[in-house]
Amino acid sequence: MLKPILLLSALCWSACSCAAIQILATRVILYEAEKEQSFTIRNTGDAPSLVQIWLSKKDNSSMNITDDIPLAIMPPIARINAGSSKVFRFFPTEKASAALPADRESMFWINALDVPAVDDENVAENKLNIAFRTRIKAFYRPSGIKGTLIEAGENLQWSMSKEANNLVYTVNNNSPYHISVVDFSLKKGEETISSLPGDVIAPWEIKKYKFKNVSDSSASLNYQYISDLGAYIPKRIVL
């Protein structure tokens, strides 16, 4: 089984490298009827990088490659020269249709570990090279699901309640799509009075978001959800 490549320094950190690789997508969507999808990684640095790619489940934030996922990415490891790009293939295995739910999309992470090249100058000057990981969302969409992501994002069902000195917003995602939400905030007019981190609302999921020490129920809930193309679509909820 592949393990992440770790680049360690045996000495000190007088300087460090910066991430040079860029995944030229915010998400990759693989439809059941498709044989594959592709995405591109570009090396924007001035030296070659060794890039390792793997999939992990949406609740796995570790560096361990342990998840049994019926999807694959090729090549799993590639050298990308400075200023160059490499195309990676994302495709289902023979087990995908049987192993993944047919009534909703499945979400995973595509992980890209950038290991910069180590040259003689860095070794001689005791410089530290750091391996950077970048992640983007990957979705597998079975053929039978209905509607669109936009319809799902527009039809989230919200309700509000009070708990002590807190406002609690409950959302019901009554759709087969994952809704990626950013910039949760409560606003009074144009003034932001409270905010929460973004989140992903899974298919058929009911979630609660608590704004602590906020009692003004006349405030509006503002957020943005992300489309298939990576566009941020603003929403304003008044309850």
Domains defined for the chain, CATH in brackets: 21-141 (2.60.40.10), 149-237 (2.60.40.10)
Which residues does 8 contact at the CB level (< 8 Å), separation at least 6? none
Q: Is residue 85 within 8 Å of 43, Cβ to Cβ?
A: yes
Alpha-carbon distance values, 202 to 110, 223, 225 (Å):
18, 17, 13
| Cα four-point dihedral sign 82, 83, 84, 87 | positive
Give the chain's length. Answer: 239
pLDDT at 128 over 80: no
Confidence label for 133 from pLDDT (cuts 50, 70 and 90): confident
Q: Which of 146, 150, 59 lies closest to 108 in space, CA to CA?
A: 59
Confidence label for 152 from pLDDT (cuts 50, 70 and 90): very high
Q: Which of 151, 156, 145 lies closest to 228 in space, CA to CA?
A: 151
pLDDT at 18 over 60: no
Give the pLDDT of residue 75: 97
Read off the pLDDT of each residue in 149-166 and give the average, rounded to a whole number. 96
Give the pLDDT of residue 9: 33
Give the pLDDT of residue 66: 72
Most distant CA pair in the chain, distance: 63
Read off the pLDDT of each residue in 33-40 and give the average, rounded to a whole number. 94
φ/ψ region of 204 (left if φ > 0, alpha if ψ in -120 to 50, else beta) reads left
Q: How far apart are the first and last CA of the chain?
A: 51
Mean pLDDT of the chain: 87
| Paired strand residues for 89 | 38, 74
Give the pLDDT of residue 71: 96
Give the pLDDT of residue 11: 28
Give the pLDDT of residue 3: 55
Give the pLDDT of residue 199: 96
3-state class of 10 per DSSP? coil
pLDDT at 82 over 50: yes
